[in-house]
């Protein structure tokens, strides 16, 4: 201990320490002691909790500020758009070529959504990419011509057949995908009907293209039970093909047409579903002739 000179205590007098005021109450002192103990024991956890609370408060402030920033950005964008348009850079002409199945309204909608009305802010690449969302579009080219024009060139997918399902006739491309609804420009394409017909129609149509005699007068291909095909001709004739061995059945039908002109006869149905057997259902005139030749009326079938 350091000794203090007596001079400093010359005027000292005895005092009861209980007369001095207490700066911190006993309760507060006890609370501080307990808080100090809690801080020492749980310092890491307290820091984590406080940090999480501060992060939440900051995030809430950002959300509130985001709306203000967004509104300000929209206002500025509209102002800039208006200034560009007033300066002569507003889009006043959109020229579209190459479209047949894709509608002009759909194309213009995809071109203009979110791009504004100025050639300076119009994003041609994004607009070009959006056009390929259309069923019929194979590729597209979009370019800006300053000060106020947008030129669009469309290349559409080529339909190879028509598929009628219910009251709607779809145009189908070589992949079997629907690319648009039927219009008068494509009535010469092969027609397939029935549920699931589009899935297998393309290879079937390609196979039939090798048989010139069979294709004459063919009106439609009908999918039966999503398993096999019937050929339907304009004169009402129906040819039933098998599930398997379709090429062999068509070979026989081609031969019968070459030798007997079978498809031109008064026959309403030709059944090729059994290998090596051709069953015919005669028409009304043919039944009368068969009945007259046999002396009694009957429904005749036969194999040429």
Q: Is residue 198 one of the residues assigned to a domain?
A: yes
Q: Is residue 9 one of the residues assigned to a domain?
A: no
Query: Among 128, 156, 184, where does a domain finish?
Result: 156
Query: Among 120, 136, 156, where does a domain finish?
Result: 156
Give the number of residues written for the chain. 304
Q: Which residues of 83-111 are buried (b: 16+ CB within 10 A; e: fewer)?
A: ebbeeebbbeeeebeebebbeeebbeebb
Contact criterion met (CB below 8 Å) for 132 and 107: no
* Count of other CB atoms within 10 angstroms of residue 231: 24
**167 and 145 in a common domain:** no
Q: Which residues of 241-280 are buried (b: 16+ CB within 10 A; e: fewer)?
A: bbeeebeebbebbbebbeeeebbebebebbbbeeeeebeb
Residue 176 backbone class (left: φ over 0; alpha: ψ -120 to 50; beta: rest): left
Q: What is the pLDDT of residue 72?
A: 45
pLDDT tens track, the chain, 304 positions:
344 444 444 454 554 545 545 444 555 555 554 555 544 555 565 555 555 555 555 555 545 544 544 454 444 444 444 444 444 567 788 899 999 999 889 998 888 876 667 778 888 898 899 999 999 999 999 998 888 889 999 999 999 999 998 888 999 999 889 999 877 788 889 999 988 888 889 999 999 999 988 988 999 999 998 899 999 999 999 999 999 999 999 999 999 999 999 999 989 999 999 988 899 998 888 788 878 877 655 554 555 5
Closest CA to 224 of 199, 191, 193: 193
3-state helix, strand, coil in the chain (%, to 5): 45, 25, 35
Between CA 39 and CA 44 the distance in angstroms is: 9
**167 and 289 in a common domain:** yes
Give the CATH number of the domain where residue 232 resides: 3.40.50.11690
pTM over 0.85: no
Tally of structural domains, the chain? 2
**267 and 171 in a common domain:** yes
Between CA 271 and CA 276 the distance in angstroms is: 11
**243 and 143 in a common domain:** no
Query: Which structural domain, as residue segments, surrounds residue 149?
Result: 89-156
Helix 124-131 × helix 104-112 angle, to 10°: 140
Between CA 279 and CA 174 the distance in angstroms is: 34
């Amino acid at each position: 201990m350091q000794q203090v000179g007596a001079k400093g205590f010359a005027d000292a007098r005895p005092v009861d320490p209980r007369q001095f005021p207490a700066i911190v109450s006993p309760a507060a002192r006890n609370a501080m002691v307990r808080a100090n103990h809690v801080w020492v024991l749980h310092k890491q956890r307290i820091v984590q909790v406080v940090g999480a609370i501060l992060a939440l408060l900051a995030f809430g402030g950002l959300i509130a500020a985001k709306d203000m920033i967004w509104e300000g950005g929209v206002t500025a964008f509209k102002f800039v758009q208006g200034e560009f348009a007033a300066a002569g850079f507003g889009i006043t002409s959109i020229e579209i070529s190459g479209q047949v199945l894709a509608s002009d309204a759909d194309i213009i909608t995809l071109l203009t959504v979110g791009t504004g009305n100025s050639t300076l802010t119009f994003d041609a690449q994004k607009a070009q990419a959006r056009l390929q969302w259309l069923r019929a579009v194979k590729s597209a080219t979009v370019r800006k011509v300053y000060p106020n024009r947008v030129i669009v060139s469309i290349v559409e997918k080529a339909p190879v057949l028509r598929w009628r399902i219910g009251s709607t006739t779809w145009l189908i491309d070589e992949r079997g995908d629907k690319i648009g609804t039927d219009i008068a420009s494509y009535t010469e394409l092969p027609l397939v009907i029935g549920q699931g017909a589009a899935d297998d129609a393309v290879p079937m149509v390609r196979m039939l293209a090798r048989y010139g005699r069979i294709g004459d007068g063919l009106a439609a291909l009908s999918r039966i039970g999503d398993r096999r095909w019937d050929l339907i001709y304009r004169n009402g004739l129906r040819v039933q093909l098998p599930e398997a061995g379709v090429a062999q059945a068509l070979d026989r039908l081609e031969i019968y047409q070459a030798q007997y002109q079978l498809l031109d006869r008064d026959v309403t149905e030709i059944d090729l579903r059994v290998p090596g057997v051709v069953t015919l259902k005669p028409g009304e005139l043919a039944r009368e002739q068969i009945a007259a030749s046999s002396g009694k009326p009957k429904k005749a079938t036969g194999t040429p």
